[in-house]
């Protein structure tokens, strides 16, 4: 015979473990998003400062930023098209490969 109390305890224990794993995953994802955002912002600021020093013109210093943003928009458009045509996983793989190849 099966002990009902033991099964309910095991189920509750599994749910508690699942909740703990989900919480840890959420904290990890949030931390990586914050770190990535800080890195992207720092790269944006440093690019402008370096371009200003190299070119010597504050007006032309925005060109690298603009090029970067236009490139990101174009890549996002292409990856979205791939995702719509072939599915989300293929789109993600294409995006990761594009990042890897630079």
Q: What is the pLDDT of residues 5-61, one digit of tens each?
A: 555 555 666 788 888 999 999 999 999 999 988 998 888 888 888 888 998 888 888
Cα–Cα distance measured from residue 2 to residue 37, given in angstroms and rounded to the nearest whole number? 52
Structural domain count of the chain: 1
Which residue range(s) make up the domain with 35? 4-101
Residue 76 parent element (H or E): helix 63-86
Q: Are 52 and 61 in contact (CB under 8 A)?
A: yes
Which pLDDT belongs to residue 13? 65
> Which positions ≥6 away from 92 have C-beta within 8 Å?
83
Q: Are 51 and 63 in contact (CB under 8 A)?
A: yes
- 63-86 and 4-55 helices, crossing angle to 10°: 140
List pLDDT tens digits, range 28-39: 999 999 998 899
């Amino acid at each position: 015979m099966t002990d009902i109390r033991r099964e309910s305890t095991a189920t509750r224990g599994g749910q508690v473990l699942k909740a703990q794993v989900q919480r840890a995953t959420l904290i990890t994802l949030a931390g990586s998003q914050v770190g990535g955002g800080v890195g992207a912002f720092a790269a944006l600021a440093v690019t402008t400062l370096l371009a200003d020093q190299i070119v010597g013109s504050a007006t032309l210093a925005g060109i690298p930023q603009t090029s970067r943003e236009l490139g990101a928009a174009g890549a996002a458009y292409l990856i979205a098209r791939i995702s719509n045509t072939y599915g989300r996983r293929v789109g993600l793989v294409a995006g990761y490969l594009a990042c890897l190849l630079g």
